[in-house]
């Protein structure tokens, strides 16, 4: 599965996903750091990449309707450290292969994962 990490996630997060078998790239690696969310979003969709971010702006299902995109995972760690975010990401990936979350909005923290799936 193709995954794109927002600029607020590090190479550590990308390496973790690659080690889990995901084809992962980063906004930073593509020279898109500092670009508007819309530019980043269009690139993720054009590339068909599931998007992982810490940015709450991507939780708006009116702006990003369920089922119209490859999927969004919003990581909401209570602690902002790289390791804390990695722990949340690892928990989600262990519990839910990202392929099962295509087209969904997923919001995850240390203890729970909320999944909004497209209507069938």
- The SS3 of residue 83 is helix
What is the total count of domains within the chain? 1
Tell me whether residue 46 is exposed, middle or buried, using C-beta atoms within 10 angstroms of its C-beta: 0 to 12, 13 to 18, 19 or more.
Answer: exposed
Which residue range is the domain that position 36 belongs to? 2-116
Q: What are the beta bridge partners of residue 115? A: 106
Nearest to 41 by CA among 20, 71, 21: 71
Rounded to an integer, the average pLDDT of 17-29 is: 96
Give me the CATH number covering residue 72.
Answer: 3.40.50
What is the pLDDT at residue 12?
97
Rounded to an integer, the average pLDDT of 73-88 is: 94
What is the pLDDT at residue 105?
98
pLDDT at 120 over 80: no
């Amino acid at each position: 599965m193709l995954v794109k990490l927002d600029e607020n996630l590090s190479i550590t997060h990308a390496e973790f996903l690659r080690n889990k078998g995901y084809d992962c790239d980063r906004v930073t690696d593509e020279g898109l750091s500092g670009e508007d969310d819309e530019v980043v979003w269009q690139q993720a969709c054009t590339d068909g990449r599931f998007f992982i971010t810490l940015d709450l702006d991507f939780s708006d299902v009116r702006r990003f309707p369920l089922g119209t995109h490859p999927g969004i995972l919003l990581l909401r760690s209570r602690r902002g450290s790289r390791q804390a975010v990695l722990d949340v990401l690892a928990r989600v990936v262990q519990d839910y292969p990202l392929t099962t979350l295509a087209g969904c909005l997923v919001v995850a923290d240390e203890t729970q994962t909320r999944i909004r799936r497209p209507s069938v």
